[in-house]
Amino acid sequence: MTPTSIAFRAILEKDLRTELRTLQSLPAMALFAVTTFVIFRFGLDRTQLSGSLASGVLWATLLFAALLGVNRLFVAERQEGGFDAIRLAPIDRTALFAAKAAALIVYLAILEAIVVPVFAIFFLDSAAAIPPLAAVLLLTDVGLAATGTLIASMAVHSRARDLLGPLVLLPLVVPLMIAATGASRHLLEAGGPAYERFGTWLAVLGLYDLIFLLVGYAVFDFLLED
């Protein structure tokens, strides 16, 4: 293994161990998402959603739940000096970017494993859309993780980090959310999933992921400088 991959694994394992021990992010994310579904269910006064409306409810909820995780991503590094410890190590600092993005993908995947079935129970007439939806979820998670990690690493040094993170992140993820809702819309049609322009939307999601992974790789080293 290369020093960078060793560092990547060390940081990722550290983050997952810490989350498992403290449960600071995931329970809040899951509780937020489930509560939002309950509010939509009673607010819209509908026992079934389909198409664009179902897609919008799902992604708006997942996006704002993800923000809770993004905001906490670098808190330990800032409060406990982890940034300095990592900057003093002879490693490629993009290992930190990759590990934090991977940790966020894991959090989002666990969140979705909990709340997407809840969404299906609340709003869908069958679970047939869930398997193809998994591909959309995965590609969107990668994009959210790449963008979220980048913005969180910038915002964490600011006093207004709780405001600055969402303020910069939300406009940046608009294209991602358009592609995610576009890809999900036909999957969530009443009467079973349809695959109209599904491949195109997946390609857009993949392109977004690639762009922000490359941007993160290129600029992350500079973001860690004082």
Partner 1 sequence: MTAAIELRDLRHEFGERTALERIDLTLAVGETMVVVGSNGAGKTTLLRILATLLRPTAGSVEVLGCPLPREAWRLRGRIGYLGHEPLLYRDLTGRENLRFQARLHGIGDEEREARIEATLRAIGMERRADERVADLSAGMRQRLAICRCVLHEPELLLLDEPDSHLDEEGRERASALIGPGPNRTRVVVTHDPDRFEGEADRTLRLEIGGRAELEQGAALR
Give CA–CA dist 208/136, Å, rounded.
Answer: 13
Least Å distance between CB 157 and partner 1? 13
Residue 57 in contact with residue 49, Cβ under 8 Å? Answer: yes
Q: Smallest distance from the beta carbon of 85 to partner 1, in angstroms?
A: 4
| Between 14 and 41, CB nearer to partner 1 | 14
- Give the chain's end-to-end CA distance (angstroms, integer): 30
> Rounded to the nearest whole angstrom, what is the least distance from the CB of residue 220 to partner 1 in the complex?
14
DSSP 144: H
Structure-derived torsion over alpha carbons of residues 211, 213, 215, 216, reported in degrees to the nearest 10: 160
Helix extents (H) in the chain: 3-22, 26-44, 51-72, 75-79, 82-87, 94-123, 130-155, 161-172, 174-185, 198-223
Residues near partner 1, by CB under 8 A: 3, 6-7, 9-10, 14, 17-18, 21-22, 76, 80-82, 84-91, 225-226
For partner 1, which is the closer residue by CB, 17 or 196? 17
What whole-number distance in Å separates Cα of residue 49 and Cα of residue 56?
A: 10
| 96 or 187: CB nearest partner 1 | 96
d(CA 84, CA 172) in angstroms, rounded, equals 28
Q: Which is nearer to partner 1, 88 or 160 (CB)?
A: 88
Q: How far is the CB of 84 from partner 1 (least distance, A)?
A: 6
Q: Nearest approach, Cβ of 89 to partner 1 (angstroms)? A: 4
Degrees (nearest 5) of the Cα angle 208, 138, 190?
Answer: 105
- Using CA atoms, how far apart are residues 116 and 135, in angstroms rounded to an integer? 13
Q: Which is nearer to partner 1, 86 or 120 (CB)?
A: 86
CB of 105 to partner 1, least distance (A): 21
Nearer to partner 1, 4 or 50 (CB): 4
